[in-house]
Chains A and B, each alone.
Chain A
Amino acid sequence: MAAGLPGFGLSGVFFIISALLMVPMEIVSTLRGRSSLERWGQVLRSAGIALSILVGVELTYAGLHIALTQLSSSTAGAHGGGGGGGGAAQAHARTVNVVHVLPVLPILATIGLVAIVIVSAKAAELISDWRRKPIVSGDRSASAHPELRSHGERRHTPRPRRDPVDGRPSRGRVQPHLIDHERGIGELQHPLELASDTPG
C-alpha cells in the first residue's frame, strides 16, 4: 500500500516478507564485505517494524477471539443458564483457544496468494520473452491506450563525468544501458514544441 492505493492486502504482506528477508540478505552482503553499519541500521529498523506488525496482528486476532468467545458464551449463558463446573470448563477452553489462536491458515493462504501473484508476474515475463524479442530498456513505445500515441526515436549513452554537486571528478562507473526507446505523449501538445517557439 502507498498513498492513493486502497488496503493493506498483498502489498502489506509482500513488504513484511521483504523486510524480514533483508536480514539474511544483509548477512550475505556483510560476509562479502559489502555492508555497513548504516545499512544494518536500516535493515534492523525495517525488520523490527515487520516483526512488530506480526505481533500486532497476533494480539489483535487474540483480542478479537477472546471478545467473540466471551460474547458467544455470555449469549449461551443467558439462554441456557449453566452450573459453576461448566463455567470453569468454558474458561479453560477459552484459555486453550487463545493459546492456539495464531491464524496459521489465513497467514499461509495470504502468503500463498502473494507467491502466486509474484510467480504469475514472472511467468508473464517468460512468456513475453518467448513470444517476442526481449526489451532491455524502459518501453516508452508501449501505449496504455490508442489515445496515448508514441512517436520519435532517440539514442543516447549517458556520460556523467563529474560529481554534480561539487564538480569533482567522479570515480569510474559502469556505463548505463544503451537506451533505445520511442517517446510517447498524449493528445496534449508536447511542451518542448512550445519551448521552441518561445524566445529566450
Chain B
Amino acid sequence: MNTESHRHHASGRRGRPTTPVPAPVADDHNLHPGLTVIVPAFNEAASIADTVRSLRSQTRPPQEILVVDDCSTDETAAVAAAAGARVLTPPVNTGSKAGAQTFALPQVRTELAMAVDADTTLAEDAIERLLEPFSDPEVAAASGAVIPRHVRTMWERGRYVEYLFAFSFFKRIQDHYGKPMISSGCFSAYRTAALRQVGGWSNRTMAEDMDLTWTLFGAGWKVRFLPDAVCYPIEPHDLNLMRKQLRRWSHGFIQNVLLHRRGLLKLGYLRSMVATAFWDAAVASLAYLVAIPLLALLVSPAFLLGYVIDAPVVLIPVALGAHRRRELGKALTSFPSYFVLRLLNGVMMLNALIRECILRKPLLVYEKGH
C-alpha cells in the first residue's frame, strides 16, 4: 500500500448529516493546457512557504498554485500568499485533506492538476518529469518517488528505509504491470477532466489517494509511477505522530479494500497485489505480535530471528536505491529503525483489521499526523 501520504487535519468530524450532493460539473471545454497545483493546508505556516517556493522554482513551474487554507488558526494563509500562491479559504473547515483538495477543484482551469502536501518540497525537475506520461491521453494520474526530507529520529529513519525499499523495487514493478497500487497523495498529477469525472478526492475513506487511484483504474484510466520525479515530505518524527499517521493508513487500506472489493475483482494484477497485501496485513501482524513471541517462549529463543530473518531481502533494494542517491551510509545506519517501525505497522494494522472487520467500528475522524 503505499499509502505514502495522507496528512491533514486535526479537526473532528462534522456533525451535519450527509445530503446528496451532485458531483462536480465537468466543464472540460474551458480547460486550457498547463498545470495547476493544489496545496491543502491546515496550520502549516512553518512549512508552506518552502512548499510554494519549491513549486515556483521548478524547471517547469505551474501556471497557478492554489493553497487551500482550511480555516487554519495560524498564519498559513498570509505566509502562502506572501510566497506567491493564490489562497482559497472554505467557509468552514472541510474536515479532511480530501475535502480541502476537492474544494479547490472547481477553480482549476488547466488540463492538469497536481496535489502537493503543504509540508512537501520537490526536486527542481520533479514536475517536468512527472508530466511526461501525460502525452499518453489514457493516463489520468502519475506519482513520483517519496523521500523523507528529514532523516533524524528513529521513526524518520524507519520510514526512510521503508520508502527506499518500496520506491526502488515494488513500485517500479507495479508500474511495469500498469497498476501502481497508489498514486501518492503528497505528490501526484492528474488529468483534470478525469479527476472531475470521478468527483475529485473522496473523504469516504481515510486514504483518499488510494481510493482515487483504484477508482481511476476502475474507470479504465492508466496511472503511472515516475521514479525520477522526487518529492521530500516531512515525515512523523515521534511515536505519537507516527501512530496517528499509521492509524489513518491502516484503516484507509482496509476501508478501500472493503469499498472497492467488487471493482478490484475485475482488475487482475491489482487484485492479486491487494490480495497478497491483505494477507500480509493480517498474517504478518499476527506473526510478529503473537506467533514469534509465543514460539520463542515455548519452543526456542531462536524463533526471535523471525523478526530480522528477511533483513538481507530488504537491504538489497534499499542499498541499491541509497547508492543511486549517494546515501548508502545514511541508509545503513537507518536500517535497524525499519524493524522497529515494522512492528508498529503490525500493531496498527492488526488494530485496524479488528476494528474495521470484526467490531465494525470504522475510523471516521481524520486526525492529522503529518
Binding site for B on A (CB under 8 A): 1-15, 18-19, 22, 39, 42-43, 45-46, 49, 52-53, 56-57, 59-60, 64, 68, 114, 117-118, 120-122, 124-125, 128, 134-140, 142-145, 147-149, 151-152, 154, 156, 158-160, 162-167, 170-171, 173-174, 176-177, 179, 181, 183-195, 197-198
Chain B residues with CB under 8 A of A160: 111, 137, 191, 193
**A6–B342 CB distance below 8 A:** yes
Query: Does B255 reach chain A (CB closer than 8 Å)?
Result: yes
**B203–A186 CB distance below 8 A:** yes
Within 8 Å by CB of B159, from A3, A39, A46, A68, lies A3
* 11 sample A-B contacts, Cβ–Cβ < 8 Å, listed by A number: A3-B2, A3-B166, A10-B279, A49-B316, A125-B265, A179-B198, A185-B203, A186-B202, A186-B364, A189-B95, A190-B102
4 closest A-B pairs by CB: A138-B218, A7-B284, A164-B111, A177-B220
Binding site for A on B (CB under 8 A): 1-4, 13-14, 16-24, 26, 28, 32-35, 90-92, 94-96, 98-100, 102-103, 105-106, 110-112, 131, 134-135, 137-138, 159, 162-163, 165-166, 168-173, 176-177, 181-182, 191-194, 197-200, 202-205, 214-221, 246, 249-250, 253-256, 258-263, 265-266, 271-277, 279-281, 283-285, 287-288, 302, 305, 309-317, 320, 342-343, 345-346, 349, 356, 360, 362, 364
**B23–A188 CB distance below 8 A:** no
Chain B residues with CB under 8 A of A117: 272, 275-276, 279
Given A121-B272, A152-B21, A173-B137, A187–B312 Cβ distance below 8 Å?
no
Chain A residues with CB under 8 A of B315: 56
Given A5-B349, A18-B177, A194-B103, A148–B313 Cβ distance below 8 Å?
no
**A6–B345 CB distance below 8 A:** yes
**A125–B272 CB distance below 8 A:** no
**B204–A186 CB distance below 8 A:** yes
Which residue of the partner chain A has the closest CB to B161? A3
CA distance A19 to B173 in the complex (A): 6
CB distance from A65 to the nearest CB of B (A): 12
CB distance from A183 to the nearest CB of B (A): 5
Considering residues B19, B103, B349, which has the most beta carbons from chain A within 10 angstroms of its beta carbon?
A: B103
